[in-house]
Amino acid sequence: MKVALVTGGSRGIGRACSVKLAEMGYYILINYQSNETEALNTLAMVREKGSDGEIIKFDVANSEEVEKNITAWQESHPDTYIEVLVNNAGIRKDNLLVWMTDEDWHKVLDISLNGFMYATRAVLNGMLKKKYGRIVNMVSLSGLKGLPGQTNYSAAKGAVIAATKALAQEIARKNVTVNAVAPGFIKTDMTQDLDEGELKKTIPMNRFGTPEEVANVVAFLASKEASYVTGQTISINGGLYT
């Protein structure tokens, strides 16, 4: 059994990644924070692809919860290990910095940045021992170029891009790769409140992307074929200049 863990796998891009990795034959651990119904819907889609998986509830921003859940899963499955990790869970709390609250600053960093660290640390030993692993971090256009109204989100994603480069060098010899993908505007619950009609005019492809278009790139980075790619950030943004 080959196992992949997708954080925030219940909806949007994380769901598309779960389904795509299932197509590649992975058993999927679908992490979610609160929306069990949607996590179960993702599981049903995974099964439709002829694979299997399970839902696993934890808040990626809570170090103890992450460690406890991942360790418990590993201990009850001693014959296998998590060989693919997609650090996808993330939220937006946009505001101009002058009006940004401590809470909205920390919440966004806690989930995207600390969540990356807690989940990665929890699975890394298994990958290093087996001398094979794939880590893919979901970052953003915002983390590459910075977007006004998103200093918290840009800081979180920019930090994960830097961490991707550092960790890639730490573990490259063990055949464990770490890469990031940076979507532009993708049609999910997260972008529902945006003015798509106006924003798409700024995108050379004149449309928002789909979660599946992001998942296709994640799938490549998670595959054996991506064996000599590490420390990279790949943009998926319809040609938006970064």
Residues identified as active-site: 153
| Closer by beta carbon to ligand NAP, 130 or else 187 | 187
Q: What angle do CA 42, 48, 52 make, to 5 degrees?
A: 70
Residue-wise burial string across 72-83, b where 16 or more C-beta atoms lie within 10 A, e elsewhere: ebbeeeeeebbb
Q: Does 8 bind ligand NAP (CB under 6 A)?
A: yes
State how far the Cα of 120 lies from the Cα of 117, in Å rounded to an integer.
5
**Cβ within 8 Å of residue 170, ≥6 positions away:** none
| Closer by beta carbon to ligand NAP, 7 or else 179 | 7
The answer to whether 86 and 5 are in contact (CB under 8 A) is yes
List 3, 4, 5, 12, residue binding ligand NAP (CB under 6 A):
12
Q: Does 61 bind ligand NAP (CB under 6 A)?
A: yes
Binders of ligand NAP among residues 136 to 155 (CB under 6 A) are 138, 140
List 29, 59, 84, 233, residue binding ligand NAP (CB under 6 A):
59
List 126, 133, 158, 183, residue binding ligand NAP (CB under 6 A):
183
The answer to whether 18 and 9 are in contact (CB under 8 A) is yes
Binders of ligand NAP among residues 77 to 96 (CB under 6 A) are 88-91
Q: How far is the CB of 114 from ligand NAP (least distance, A)?
A: 10
First CA to last CA across the chain, in angstroms? 39
State how far the Cα of 10 lies from the Cα of 14, in Å rounded to an integer.
7
| Per-position DSSP letters for 13-29, written without gaps between them | HHHHHHHHHHHTT-EEE
| Closer by beta carbon to ligand NAP, 17 or else 168 | 17
Q: Does 122 bind ligand NAP (CB under 6 A)?
A: no
Distance of CA 77 to the CA centre of its chain: 23
Q: How far is the CB of 78 from ligand NAP (least distance, A)?
A: 26
Q: Does 191 bind ligand NAP (CB under 6 A)?
A: yes
State how far the Cα of 60 lies from the Cα of 233, in Å rounded to an integer.
22
| Closer by beta carbon to ligand NAP, 192 or else 228 | 192
| Closer by beta carbon to ligand NAP, 78 or else 180 | 180
Contact residues toward ligand NAP (CB under 6 A) are 7-8, 10-14, 31-35, 38, 59-61, 88-91, 111-112, 138, 140, 183, 185-186, 188-191
